[in-house]
């Protein structure tokens, strides 16, 4: 078996931030050629010593020195990990020094929270936004549209639901979504129920061939997934967006994070935390 | 008005990683004392120059030098931002050098992707996991439990739904959830429908006073939100977990990210990307 270098993401909390930045960095170096292991909740010396053992033994097994990305606040814990036989890059230690100088104060050295915790108001905001997304998914109900920050509109499988959920979880945004179904597309105009909310609408469109793939995965050999049908739907949906001036974006290539961030950026909606 | 220092998160993509790490770092310095502005999609020289203007004018307005956290891959774009009158900390540039030396290769300098994009298999995995979470939310249906990676169990408002959605979006995990309702708690045993799936169950519990707050926010002055009721439900739910050996955690203080990561960590479920 081919030997692969191991990349570790080590954190005293979830490791999610260390993973995101570490993966982004490794993607600059043909990122698929590495094994990835996340070690979360390394928050005391015992766990730090166990982590070092895992790191060192991965290095021996593969015959290649591991790379360790970490976000460790506690100096003692970090000092232990630092002694592992690896290229050690800590996202905290590197930047705390310059920040202390600039701000003229010492850092608190408490284990930090990158995410809205249950102890603060942002948490309830987040949960309410998730509930809003669920209650207003797929046009189930339009009653609460007056409360919505944004209403995503598009054909079935254009990415509306995951984008709404991500907007809720990441930014606390109240996002509903409304599917354009065949009747709407045939009429060639915005559904009446959406008209009062025109300023809140944002359209998602997608390349027909990609849409076909996604639908095929769900219902193979259906009219729903046929080339004619997806071309028709996408064209008609875009016609409606243009006719009434609904801004829209193409979701064929971007990730859910990128779609959500683009919606925020282009609509100017304020995130709620 | 009190002058506040402005913290900018600048990225050639979403800025989500720059925000997460930057906020984590700032939380070491009494993080509430700063204004935060994210500038995503700064991917060409024009946008870079506009970003510099915003950064410099925030510095003048507030009379305090801004702090800029960035993840910029393109050297030219970064060089422009770097010239702003700010403490400039780039998460990319700092680590690319040591990685190039260690790996003995040059980085590709292509704008990196931290998140699963629509162009790869992980995207469909992610969407399918989100659909699974929606179809198996709140005990709606138990038909697809055989496919589940994990089934979260707990009383109403213990954090099951957002955790399932996060597990799906972030890790591609198939997570269902089942609410323990009063009838289940009275019987004092695991609902029959869950018995075959015992090895997949993971319990969420919560401090009664916190649960009361959350429920009160939803239905004030209801029996559902009364002190007696929440105490009763939490105690009975924990009794069931203990009796049948379902592992469980307390969701009172951790963030959704922390709950999701803990579930992964303690169950040993493999993430799907």
Residues A35 and A64 in one domain: yes
Residues A153 and A69 in one domain: no
Residues B205 and B240 in one domain: yes
Domain annotation covers residue A112:
no
Residues B63 and B91 in one domain: yes
Contact between A255 and B117 using a beta-carbon 8 Å cutoff: yes
Domain annotation covers residue B109:
no
Domain annotation covers residue B112:
no
- In this prediction, residue B132 has a pLDDT band, given cuts at 50, 70 and 90, of very high
Domain annotation covers residue B233:
yes
What ipTM is given for this predicted complex?
0.90
What number of CA atoms fall less than 13 Å from residue A214's CA on the CB side? Answer: 26
- Contact list in A for residue B25 (CB cut-off 8 A) is 92, 95-96, 99, 112
Residues A56 and A163 in one domain: no
Contact call for residues A155 and A180 (beta carbons, < 8 A): yes
Residues A68 and A203 in one domain: no
- Contact list in B for residue A118 (CB cut-off 8 A) is 159, 210, 251-255
If you average pLDDT over residues A254-259, what whole number do you get? 94
CATH number at residue A242: 3.40.50
The pTM score is 0.92
Q: Which of A103, A132, A166 is the last residue of a domain?
A: A103
Domain annotation covers residue B110:
no
Question: How would you write chain A as a 3-class SS string?
Answer: CCCCEEEEEEECCCCHHHHHHHHHHHHHHCHHHEEEEEECCCCCHHHHHHHHHHHHHHHHHHCCCCEEEEECCCHHHHHHHHCCCCEEEECCHHHHHHHHHHHCCCCCCCCCCCCCCCCCHHHHHHHHHHHHHHHCHHHCCCCCHHHCCEEEEECCCCCHHHHHHHHHHHHCCCEEEEECCHHHHHHCCCCHHHHHHHHHEEEEECCHHHHHHHHHHHCCCCHHHCHHHHHHHHHHHHHHHHHHCCCEEECCCCCHHHHHHHHHHHHCCCCCC
Partners of A8 in the beta sheet?
A: A37, A68
Residues B94 and B141 in one domain: no
Residues B94 and B196 in one domain: no
Domain annotation covers residue A115:
no
Rounded-to-10 torsion of CA A198, A204, A208, A212:
-110
Residues B69 and B179 in one domain: no
More confident residue, B214 or A60: A60
To the nearest whole percent, how much of chain A has pLDDT over 90? 80
DSSP tag of B108? -
- In this prediction, residue B33 has a pLDDT band, given cuts at 50, 70 and 90, of confident
The 3-state DSSP class for residue B172 equals coil
Report how far residue A256's alpha carbon sits from residue A164's, in angstroms, rounded to the nearest whole number: 10
Domain annotation covers residue B55:
yes
- Contact list in B for residue A169 (CB cut-off 8 A) is 162, 165-166, 169, 256
Report how far residue B45's alpha carbon sits from residue B52's, in angstroms, rounded to the nearest whole number: 10
CA-based nearest distance B236→chain A, Å: 23
Residues A163 and A237 in one domain: yes
If you average pLDDT over residues A237-258, what whole number do you get? 96
pLDDT in tens, A120-140: 677 888 999 999 999 999 888
If you average pLDDT over residues A16-27, what whole number do you get? 92
pLDDT in tens, B165-193: 999 999 999 999 999 999 999 999 999 99
Residue A190 pLDDT more than 70?
Answer: yes
Residue B140 sits in which domain range? 121-267
Residues A75 and A193 in one domain: no
Residue A151: predicted pLDDT: 98
Domain annotation covers residue B114:
no
> In whole angstroms, how far apart are CA A112 and each of B86, B166, B258?
24, 20, 12
Residues A48 and A180 in one domain: no
Q: Which of A73, A103, A133 is the last residue of a domain?
A: A103
Q: How many domains does chain A have?
A: 2
CA-based nearest distance A160→chain B, Å: 11
């Amino acid at each position: 078996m081919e030997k692969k270098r191991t990349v570790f993401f080590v954190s005293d909390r979830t490791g999610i931030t260390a993973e995101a930045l570490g993966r982004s960095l490794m993607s600059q170096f043909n990122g698929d050629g590495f094994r990835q292991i996340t070690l979360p909740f390394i928050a005391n010396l015992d766990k730090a010593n166990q982590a070092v053992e895992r790191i060192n033994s991965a290095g021996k097994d593969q015959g290649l020195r591991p790379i360790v990305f970490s976000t460790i606040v506690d100096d003692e814990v970090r000092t232990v990990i630092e002694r592992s036989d690896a290229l050690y890059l800590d996202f905290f230690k590197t930047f705390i020094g310059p920040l202390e100088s600039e701000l003229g104060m010492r850092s608190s050295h408490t284990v930090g929270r990158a995410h809205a915790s249950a102890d603060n108001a942002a948490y309830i905001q987040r949960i309410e936004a998730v509930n809003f997304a669920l209650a207003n998914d797929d046009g189930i109900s339009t009653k609460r549209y007056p409360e919505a920050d944004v209403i995503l509109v598009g054909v079935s499988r254009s990415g509306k639901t995951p984008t709404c959920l991500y907007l809720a979880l990441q930014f606390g945004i109240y996002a509903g979504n409304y599917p354009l179904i065949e009747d709407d597309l045939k009429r060639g105009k915005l559904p009446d129920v959406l008209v009062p909310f025109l300023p809140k609408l944002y359209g998602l469109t997608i390349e027909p061939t990609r849409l076909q793939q996604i639908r095929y995965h769900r219902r193979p050999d259906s009219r729903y997934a046929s080339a004619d049908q997806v071309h028709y739907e996408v064209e008609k949906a875009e016609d409606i967006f243009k006719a009434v001036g609904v801004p829209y974006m193409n979701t064929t290539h971007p990730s859910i994070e990128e779609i959500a961030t683009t919606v925020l950026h282009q609509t100017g909606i304020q995130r709620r935390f």
